[in-house]
A and B are shown apart, each in its own frame.
Chain A
Amino acid sequence: MYWKNILGVVQNKRTWCNLSKISMENEEENQPISEEIVLQFLDSTDNYITLMESLSSSLRQGWLELASARLSMGTSRVTSTLFDLNMHPAVTTLQVAPLDGESLSQDIMGRQSRFSLRKWASFNEERCSKDTEASEDLQMESNQQLHRHGSHHISANRSHASLSEEPAEARLASSESLTTIDEQVNKERSKSLSVFGTLVSPKLRAAQLSFETAMETLVEIANMRSLMLSAYAQIQQDKDKTQ
């Protein structure tokens, strides 16, 4: 899996080189491909690579914390044998929506899709959907300004950075609602962990957070990949037109 990712990165870099050549050639012919689209592709590739590194870091951290929890609580308490085989509604769902009006190509590869994670479904759905939309907006803004990070705490840093940009009054109101939301979310998290018992080690909770971060990163990767493929398709289309 790791080597496939490296191969993908190398292929993306080769594509970048080809695009640079295409851009130069077209500049010489005074018919440049939209530089904005090229920049969008390059940015999305950069973000994609960063997100992949972040995902790898989150998963490694999560697995180690799970092992640490097993050491702390005992192998009989943290084991897959305790997983609940009863039917339960999904706590977290993934929603896929095509972005209407933004796709310039009828090609399936070119049509951009929007992936969003809806977490803690048993929680108040209206509040959950509002918060999910708000957090998605925040993520979209910060994705455009994403820098290289090695840590898996990107989502936490992002939310803190975005909060500091709001006006003070709105910040107070949002912080109060966030506190209430945090309490509800923590309850839902504890409910998910109850399969291992109700008094679990903080290490198990930390592992849960790491895997949750990994899941969010996966969704961001899917969105970034969709953006990347869409931009690439547009560039290919423009290249075909100029030829």
Chain B
Amino acid sequence: MYGFEAMTFNIHGGYLEAIVRGHRSGLLTAADYNNLCQCETLDDIKMHLSATEYGHYLQNEPSPLHTTTIVEKCTLKLVDEYKHMLCQATEPLSTFLEYITYGHMIDNVVLIVTGTLHERDVNELLEKCHPLGMFDSIATLAVAQNMRELYRLVLVDTPLAPYFSECITSEDLDDMNIEIMRNTLYKAYLEDFYMFCKKLGGATAEIMSDLLSFEADRRAVNITINSIGTELTRDDRRKLYSSFGLLYPYGHEELAVCEDIDQVRGAMEKYPPYQSIFAKMSYGESQMLDKAFYEEEVKRLCLAFEQQFHYGVFFAYMRLREQEIRNLMWISECVAQNQKSRVHDSVVFIF
């Protein structure tokens, strides 16, 4: 029951909540980002990051550095922290932590299948997979010819198996089917995660419902914008939207028929939380939409830490770290391309 977590939460979750709050204090601040934005080369970035928690991971990297190297090493840090928390967690926190990685698992599955379709080497593809989404039989994905085989040979023994019920067909895997598979899997995963959090109840259910609803709504907007001008039909588009969130169901009906960004704006401005997001953009423009959504997400994730005795802090921390890694990637790209004037186009300050 909501309100009584204070009596029992610390028995099993107190240590890890303290750990994750400690990790949170290590997130880069606005001062750190200002220093990084002044860097002239990637080696300068490495030098500035050596004073942060990333220093240990980057110190042995030889020059010249590459942007992907910085991202890989920073991601490695996140993976180490996650694995430490996972091995210390008991149920239901361990299941909750595993849910956080299913999104990466889906991305890895799609990467392997797409790369195999394009006749790429499996080992090369495995190197590009996100470490949080790895599972034992992932390399076997390369032998599947259609979704039925994909499920039967590999995915039936993975946590993604329950999400495949809506996309098992005997159709051959092509670019469109893979895209629909990706979004259908992610939809099923989000809905399952949402129901799991609801079952946990209490502060976890309340906070995670808000965060996952925002995620579902953002995905709906991105699917709509990305599918404008493509062969994806309105019905197929509607099927990819999640069955929860602020936009469900009436907002989804409006988004499904949108043909340009201004119509999307018209549909979204009816909802106050998203009115402020679209107010930051001019008509016909969608370039700053990603940043606006990331800023709103960061605001909500930071608010999760204002309350104790719930699992939302773990989800919030993982997402904030991923945002930090995105920031570092963008800063590195701007420095590497000598376009420092554009660095503030996509950096989202967390503190």
Contacts of A117 in B (CB 8 A): none
Distance, CA A63 to CA B339, complexed state (A) = 10
Distance (Å) between the CB of A27 and the closest chain B CB?
46
Contacts of B111 in A (CB 8 A): 76-77, 81-82
A75 touching B71 in the complex, CB below 8 Å, given contacts A81-B128, A82-B120, A198-B230: yes
Contact B333 A79, beta carbon cutoff 8 Å: no
Contacts of A72 in B (CB 8 A): 290
Contacts of B119 in A (CB 8 A): 84-86
B229 within 8 A of A: yes
B101 within 8 A of A: no
A67 within 8 A of B: yes
Distance (Å) between the CB of B292 and the closest chain A CB?
12
Distance (Å) between the CB of B98 and the closest chain A CB?
19
Q: Which residue of A lies closest to B183 (CB)?
A: A199
Contact A195 B118, beta carbon cutoff 8 Å: yes
A3 within 8 A of B: no
Mark the stretch among B159-167, B219-227, B244-252 that contacts chain A: B219-227
Interface string of A132-148 (1 = CB under 8 A from B): 00000000000000000
Distance, CA A169 to CA B227, complexed state (A) = 35
Q: Which residue of A lies closest to B261 (CB)?
A: A202
Distance (Å) between the CB of B180 and the closest chain A CB?
8
Contact B128 A186, beta carbon cutoff 8 Å: no
Contact B179 A76, beta carbon cutoff 8 Å: no
Contacts of B128 in A (CB 8 A): 75-76, 79, 81
Contacts of A194 in B (CB 8 A): 175
Interface size on A, residues (CB 8 A): 31
B182 within 8 A of A: yes
Contact B342 A64, beta carbon cutoff 8 Å: yes
Contacts of B107 in A (CB 8 A): 74, 76-77
Which of the listed residues B125, B223, B230 has the most CB atoms from chain A within 10 Å of its own CB? B230
Distance (Å) between the CB of A194 and the closest chain B CB?
4
Distance, CA A60 to CA B334, complexed state (A) = 11
Interface string of B129-143 (1 = CB under 8 A from A): 110000000000000
Contacts of B329 in A (CB 8 A): 70-71, 75
Contacts of A198 in B (CB 8 A): 175-176, 179, 230-232
Q: Please report which residues of chain A, range 76-92, place their CB below 8 angstroms from some CB of chain B when the two chains form the complex.
A: 76-77, 79, 81-86
Contacts of B114 in A (CB 8 A): 82, 197
A209 within 8 A of B: no
Contact B337 A64, beta carbon cutoff 8 Å: yes
Q: Which residue of A lies closest to B327 (CB)?
A: A71
Contacts of B227 in A (CB 8 A): 199
Q: Which residue in A71, A75, A81, A86 is a CB contact (below 8 Å) of B125?
A: A81
Contacts of A70 in B (CB 8 A): 329, 333
Distance (Å) between the CB of B139 and the closest chain A CB?
15
A237 within 8 A of B: no
Distance (Å) between the CB of A199 and the closest chain B CB?
4
Distance, CA A60 to CA B336, complexed state (A) = 11
Distance (Å) between the CB of A4 and the closest chain B CB?
18
Q: Which residue of A lies closest to B325 (CB)?
A: A75
A76 touching B129 in the complex, CB below 8 Å, given contacts A82-B115, A199-B179: yes
Interface string of A158-174 (1 = CB under 8 A from B): 00000000000000000
Distance (Å) between the CB of A219 and the closest chain B CB?
24
Contact A64 B129, beta carbon cutoff 8 Å: no
Distance, CA A206 to CA B285, complexed state (A) = 12
Contact B286 A202, beta carbon cutoff 8 Å: yes
Contacts of B52 in A (CB 8 A): none
Distance, CA A74 to CA B333, complexed state (A) = 14
Contact A68 B118, beta carbon cutoff 8 Å: no
Interface string of B180-217 (1 = CB under 8 A from A): 00110000000000000000000000000000000000
Distance, CA A79 to CA B182, complexed state (A) = 17
Q: Which residue in B175, B232, B346 is a CB contact (below 8 Å) of A71?
A: B346
Distance, CA A60 to CA B341, complexed state (A) = 12
Q: Please report which residues of chain B, range 256-285, place their CB below 8 angstroms from some CB of chain A when the two chains form the complex.
A: none
Distance, CA A200 to CA B182, complexed state (A) = 13
Contact A75 B68, beta carbon cutoff 8 Å: yes
Interface string of B67-83 (1 = CB under 8 A from A): 01001000000000000
B242 within 8 A of A: no
Contacts of A68 in B (CB 8 A): 287, 330, 345-346
Interface string of A2-28 (1 = CB under 8 A from B): 000000000000000000000000000
Distance (Å) between the CB of B220 and the closest chain A CB?
12
Distance, CA A82 to CA B129, complexed state (A) = 12
Contact A71 B290, beta carbon cutoff 8 Å: yes
B124 within 8 A of A: yes
A203 touching B287 in the complex, CB below 8 Å, given contacts A71-B326, A74-B107: yes
Contacts of A116 in B (CB 8 A): none
Contact A190 B230, beta carbon cutoff 8 Å: yes
Contact A60 B337, beta carbon cutoff 8 Å: yes
Besides A71-B330, A76-B128, A79-B128, 13 more A-B contacts (Cβ < 8 Å) are: A67-B337, A71-B290, A71-B333, A71-B346, A72-B290, A76-B107, A77-B107, A81-B125, A85-B119, A195-B175, A198-B176, A199-B183, A201-B226
Q: Would you list 8 pairs from A and B whose C-beta atoms are within 8 A, ordered by A residue?
A: A60-B337, A63-B337, A67-B337, A71-B290, A186-B229, A190-B229, A198-B179, A198-B232
Q: What 7 pairs between A and B have smallest CB-CB spacing? A: A199-B226, A67-B333, A84-B118, A198-B179, A194-B175, A85-B119, A81-B128
